[in-house]
Amino acid sequence: MKSIITLLLVTSAILPSSQTTPYSGEYANKNKTENGEVYEWHLSLKEDGTFLYHFYRDLNCNQCIEEHFYGKGTWKGSKKVITFYAKETDIDVNHTINFNKSKARVYKKTSKNKSKKNHKQSIWFYASETPSIKGLQLYKEK
């Protein structure tokens, strides 16, 4: 009986970390338009199941200022899908972007793909209640 309880405790301690680790890391994308406008996205998926998001834009006009937007919360990965959660306490004066119920698909080169083309791992947000997040694609840096 003790061995069964020990096995259950060890398994429950290992499972949460195994769900997040393959997808954890730094994801980013940068776009500079012909007009000189700069857009930068950065998402940090931490191994402890938390995330930090930063969006920067510089619209390149006389009266425009650089803008920074932030978000934070928790995430879980399962079967190439990452689901994001944000509690009310995660949204504050500095972290205004709500990722609650956002979902992203993970794309990476499979072991079956023998092409020489370099495929960077990426995530693509296919569902989000925040319009600026839906459709966003970020590429893994680390």
Q: Residue 95 carries which DSSP code?
A: B
CATH class of the region 2-140: mainly beta
Nearest of 110, 100, 99, 112 to residue 138 by alpha carbon: 99
The sign one gets for the Cα dihedral 16, 124, 96, 65 is: positive
Q: What is the pLDDT of residue 8?
A: 47
Q: pTM of the entire structure?
A: 0.77
Q: Looking at per-residue confidence, does 80 or 61 come out higher?
A: 80
* Average pLDDT for the chain: 84
Q: What is the largest CA-CA distance in the chain?
A: 73
